[in-house]
């Protein structure tokens, strides 16, 4: 009887290991927020083992996150969790697991691990391990605060794409993990799913904030199974979009125009950054820019409000009639030469500017130079210490404002 029970146990463990062979995932921490999180997917789902790929995920809020995958056994994951609770570093945990494999039979060469955490000073660190006998293609990438690992992959390009998306994504840890997972949204990323035309059969993104518990993670987006041919990463993306929807900023702006000069004011709600398209081929990121148009016409101005990895755009048109523009331009025109120039410019005014103030403004509306109490109608400017680009020269007298574009090549 005991022999039968042992044989049954061995069979069950072997089946679990077979089902859990192929997985791609990322673990990461964010030192700025104290968040820890992970994302992953695999060509096994809830019908293979309860939770599908979720079995590999072990977040420790405020401390770190562990992934044990490839020939997965619960004991290895539990041991890794205990070692993290004891204060071991990711590398120490990886080394301990290799020396204390809990599989039946014992064989650390078929395991794969990815671990990231904070040290006692809050500094991020990470480590990974890929056994030489994991099923190919297999590899891992370790960064200062993340580890990306996979086996039975289409190739190295899956891991590279995940890393590039993670590093280049805007926003918080959740945004970066979702982006990394999308980096593996390729048919056959887990090669066993190639015939189905999907990357995997189950997927997740999880983020824990300090103070969270396993039952109350800040973000816990899980797709344990999908119908045949449906991409689980897309399903996780849908959950992510719903989760983030209340945080989408509301873009808006107002403006005050005087002939060709416009002062824009950002009136967006919930935005941490903005991007302007002034409709004349120029753009900027200053929150409340001053802009000068070159001629009459209608310009479609768009403001994109950004928050984390979210954005929304609002557009409005501004029309300048030709009436008065020609006289305005002629009366206020400053002569700038050479223009374009290599950094040394002469400004000549057709009217008296004695005692006036001169300012040079860059394309984003930021003042980069100021000269007070001008001595005459000729002014020499040296912009060689500034970046090349388009600038606006503004001369303010007690009675008027004079402007002219300047091109530094």
- How many domains is the chain partitioned into structurally? 3
d(CA 7, CA 10): 5
Instruction: Give the pLDDT score at 326.
Output: 52
Q: How confident is the model at residue 351 (pLDDT cuts 50, 70, 90)?
A: confident
H or E element at residue 391 = strand 389-396
Chain-centroid distance of CA 262 in Å reads: 32
Residue 302 sits in the same domain as residue 377: no
Residue 239 sits in the same domain as residue 375: no
If one counts every other C-beta atom within 10 angstroms of the C-beta of residue 399, the result is: 7
Bigger pLDDT: 263 vs 176: 176
| pLDDT above 70 (res 30) | yes
Residue 218 sits in the same domain as residue 105: yes
Residue 185 sits in the same domain as residue 94: yes
- Across the range 204-221, mean pLDDT stands at 94
Instruction: Give the pLDDT score at 362.
Output: 86
- Across the range 95-113, mean pLDDT stands at 94
- Across the range 265-287, mean pLDDT stands at 94
Bigger pLDDT: 8 vs 348: 348
Bigger pLDDT: 375 vs 93: 93
Give the chain's mean pLDDT.
Answer: 89
Q: Which pTM value belongs to this model? A: 0.75
Residue 55 sits in the same domain as residue 80: yes
Residue 91 sits in the same domain as residue 196: yes
Residue 103 sits in the same domain as residue 171: yes
Residue 274 sits in the same domain as residue 291: yes
Nearest CA among 178, 137, 153 for reference residue 26: 178
Residue 124 sits in the same domain as residue 176: yes
Q: What is the pLDDT of residues 144-198, one digit of tens each?
A: 999 999 999 999 999 999 999 999 999 999 999 999 999 999 999 999 999 999 9
| pLDDT above 90 (res 37) | yes
Q: What is the CATH number of the domain that holds 353?
A: 2.60.40.3080
- DSSP letters spanning 81-93: HHHHHTT--HHHH
Least confident segment among 111-120, 138-147, 250-259 = 250-259
Q: How confident is the model at residue 91 (pLDDT cuts 50, 70, 90)?
A: very high
Instruction: Give the pLDDT score at 333.
Output: 66
Q: How confident is the model at residue 4 (pLDDT cuts 50, 70, 90)?
A: very low
With H, G, I as helix, E, B as strand and everything else as coil, classify residue 401: strand
Residue 274's domain comprises 253-320
Q: How confident is the model at residue 276 (pLDDT cuts 50, 70, 90)?
A: very high
Q: How confident is the model at residue 202 (pLDDT cuts 50, 70, 90)?
A: very high
d(CA 159, CA 24): 8
Residues 6+ apart with CB under 8 A from 377: 348, 349, 350, 351, 352, 353, 354
Q: What is the pLDDT of residues 286-309, one digit of tens each?
A: 999 888 888 889 999 999 999 999
- Give me the half-sphere count of Cα atoms (radius 13 Å) on the Cβ side of residue 324: 5
């Amino acid at each position: 009887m005991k022999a039968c029970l042992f044989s049954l146990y061995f069979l069950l463990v072997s089946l679990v290991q077979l089902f859990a062979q192929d997985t791609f995932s990322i673990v990461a921490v964010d030192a700025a927020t104290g968040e820890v999180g992970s994302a992953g997917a695999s060509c096994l789902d809830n019908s293979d083992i309860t939770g599908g790929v979720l079995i590999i995920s072990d977040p420790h809020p405020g401390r770190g996150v562990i992934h044990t995958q490839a020939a997965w056994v619960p004991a290895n994951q539990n041991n890794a969790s205990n070692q993290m609770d004891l204060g071991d570093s990711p590398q120490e945990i990886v080394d301990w697991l290799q020396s204390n494999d809990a599989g039946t039979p014992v064989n650390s060469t078929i395991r794969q691990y990815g671990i990231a955490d904070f040290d006692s000073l809050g500094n991020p660190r990470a480590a990974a391990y890929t056994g030489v006998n994991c099923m190919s293609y297999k590899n891992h990438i370790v960064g200062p605060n993340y580890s990306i690992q996979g086996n039975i992959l289409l190739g190295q390009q899956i891991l590279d794409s995940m890393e590039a998306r993670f590093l280049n994504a805007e926003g918080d840890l959740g945004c970066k993990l979702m982006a990394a997972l999308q980096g593996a949204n390729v048919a056959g990323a887990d090669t066993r799913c190639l015939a189905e035309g999907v990357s995997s059969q189950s997927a997740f993104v999880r983020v824990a904030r300090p103070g969270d518990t396993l039952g109350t993670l800040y973000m816990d987006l899980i797709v344990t199974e999908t119908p045949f041919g449906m991409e689980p990463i897309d399903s996780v993306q849908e959950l992510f979009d719903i989760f983030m929807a209340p945080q989408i900023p509301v873009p808006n702006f107002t403006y005050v125009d005087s002939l060709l000069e416009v002062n824009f004011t950002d009136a967006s709600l919930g935005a941490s950054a903005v991007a302007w398209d002034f409709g004349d081929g120029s753009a900027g990121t200053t929150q409340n820019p001053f802009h000068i148009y070159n001629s009459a016409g209608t310009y479609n101005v768009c403001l994109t409000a950004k928050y984390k990895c979210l954005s929304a755009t609002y557009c409005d048109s501004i029309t300048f009639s030709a009436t008065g523009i020609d006289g305005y331009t002629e009366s206020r025109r400053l002569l700038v030469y050479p223009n374009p120039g290599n950094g040394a410019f002469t400004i000549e005014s057709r009217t008296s500017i004695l005692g006036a103030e001169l300012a040079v403004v860059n394309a984003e509306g930021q003042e980069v130079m100021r000269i007070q109490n001008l001595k005459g109608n000729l002014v020499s400017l040296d912009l060689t210490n500034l970046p090349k680009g388009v600038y606006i020269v503004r001369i303010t007298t007690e009675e008027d404002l004079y402007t002219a574009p300047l091109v530094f090549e």
